[in-house]
């Protein structure tokens, strides 16, 4: 009887061990399947967004991560067409201004979502001297040069290549700006990569090389409104800029060359401040370059934007020394954007990471001159979460 009991106990124990092993194996398979499903959610979609008058097709790429955050990018201007992020209740909304068709971007787009260059921001009278040679650029902002000229990088068709790696999906855009384009010297080879991560980050990395010395200052020009595009103005958004100084400007919005403290002025955003609280004290509204508190070309927090209504937060980190805060002053209701929404004054804002405006004419500003054999490199990260 004892032998029978012992055999029975051993059998029960063996069955328990086998059951546990099977359970672990099943759990491992289940975990692997879940991971595979998670990876499958991160995807890239390519389609036709429209055609230019010369018949060239404009490609549209949609990047989606595993949390549902979605970015749409097109080859015209390497432009971000839409960016859908969740609010505090998990409801998604497009937080950038823009158009539903390519025609809108061609006829009525103040740089919505585009890459601007060769020189983002302004150069006084479109003139600068480099190595003893005077250059005259296109003037498209009164007497000044703005965002690369009459046909800057926002108005050209870029080559696109989708890419994917562990936890990210990307689109690599490339363009060759030929010697003399808009008055700039040198053939400039440019690459911009938009990368969406599973951590709800949108990374924008820039690289450029030239065969002649030339000014280079690339940036991204989305108009953001965290409440959702067309849903009112940004005056109630709270903005923090990690900058103790800014570069004051003249009547033409050209920097004077000075750097002033923001403390005790309407330019102060070192602590979170409602954009509309003092905007009336700034002639024309905000359109100024802020000097980021950074020690060099390392990543630094540049800005944090918060919308109290939706709970959405956007943080911007960058290797650039400056950030242009533009409060959508020139939006005037003349543009009808996505979904038939009309864009009025202050219905979006720009936070453009950059070198300082008019640097080729301001020796005391960080240099923007790229030389042959050097590589221009810049990285900006937009991180999204809720508060």
Q: Any catalytic annotation for residue 238?
A: no
Of the residues 145, 221, 317, 382, only one is catalytic, namely 221
Nearest one of 353, 369, 371 to 361, comparing CA atoms: 369
Nearest one of 65, 63, 350, 94 to 226, comparing CA atoms: 94
- CA 21 – CA 298 distance, rounded (Å): 49
Task: Report how far apart, in Å, the C-alpha atoms of 363 and of each of 107, 127, 145, 353 are.
Answer: 37, 14, 18, 20
Per DSSP, the residues of 220-262 read EE--B-TT-TTSS-STT-EEEE--SEEE-B-TTS-B-S--EE-
CB atoms within 10 A of CB 371: 15
235: left (phi over 0), alpha (psi -120 to 50) or beta: alpha
Q: Is 126 helix (H, G, I), strand (E, B) or coil?
A: helix
How far is C-alpha 262 from the chain's CA centre?
Answer: 25
Nearest one of 48, 177, 186, 52 to 115, comparing CA atoms: 177
- CA 43 – CA 20 distance, rounded (Å): 36
Task: Report how far apart, in Å, the C-alpha atoms of 311 and of each of 36, 223, 273, 374, 384 are.
Answer: 31, 18, 15, 43, 11
Q: Any catalytic annotation for residue 352?
A: yes
- C-beta of residue 223 within 8 angstroms of C-beta of residue 105: no
User: What is the bridge-based pairing of β-strands 342-343 and 335-336?
Assistant: antiparallel
DSSP category for residue 367? P
- CA 387 – CA 385 distance, rounded (Å): 7
- CA 81 – CA 113 distance, rounded (Å): 6
Of the residues 182, 201, 209, 352, only one is catalytic, namely 352
Which residues are part of the catalytic machinery?
221, 352
């Amino acid at each position: 009887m004892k032998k029978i009991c012992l055999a029975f106990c051993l059998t029960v124990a063996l069955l328990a061990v086998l059951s546990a092993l099977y359970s672990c194996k099943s759990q491992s398979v289940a975990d692997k399947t879940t991971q595979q499903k998670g990876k499958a959610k991160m995807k890239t979609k390519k389609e036709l967004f429209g055609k230019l008058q010369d018949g060239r097709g404009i490609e549209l790429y949609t990047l989606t991560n595993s949390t549902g955050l979605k970015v749409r990018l097109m080859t015209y201007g390497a432009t971000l067409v839409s960016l859908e992020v969740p609010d505090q209740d998990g409801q998604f909304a497009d937080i950038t201004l823009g158009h539903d068709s390519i025609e809108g971007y061609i006829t009525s787009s103040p740089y919505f979502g585009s890459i601007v260059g060769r020189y983002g921001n302004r150069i006084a009278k479109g003139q600068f001297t480099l190595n003893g040679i005077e250059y005259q650029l296109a003037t498209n902002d009164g007497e000044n040069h703005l965002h690369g000229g009459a046909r800057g990088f926002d108005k050209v068709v870029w080559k696109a290549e989708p890419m994917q790696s562990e936890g990210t999906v990307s689109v690599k855009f490339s363009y060759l700006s030929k010697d003399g384009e808009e008055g700039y010297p040198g053939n400039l080879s440019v690459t911009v990569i938009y990368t969406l991560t599973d951590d709800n980050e949108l990374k924008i990395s820039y690289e450029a090389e030239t065969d002649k010395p030339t000014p280079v200052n690339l940036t991204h020009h989305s108009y953001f409104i965290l409440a959702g595009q067309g849903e009112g103005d940004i005056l109630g958004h709270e903005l923090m800029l990690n900058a103790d100084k800014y570069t004051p400007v003249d009547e033409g919005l050209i920097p004077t060359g000075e750097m002033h403290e923001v403390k005790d002025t309407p330019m102060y955003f070192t602590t979170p401040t409602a954009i509309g609280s003092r905007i009336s004290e700034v002639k024309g509204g905000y359109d100024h370059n802020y000097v980021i508190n950074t020690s060099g070309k390392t990543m630094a927090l540049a800005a944090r934007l918060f919308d109290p209504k939706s709970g959405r937060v956007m943080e911007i980190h960058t290797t650039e020394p400056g950030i242009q805060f533009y409060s959508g002053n020139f939006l005037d209701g003349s543009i009808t954007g996505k979904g038939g929404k009309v864009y009025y004054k202050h219905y979006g804002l720009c936070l453009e990471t950059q070198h300082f405006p008019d640097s080729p004419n301001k020796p005391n500003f960080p240099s923007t001159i790229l030389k042959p054999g050097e590589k221009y490199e810049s990285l900006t990260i937009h991180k999204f979460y809720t508060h």
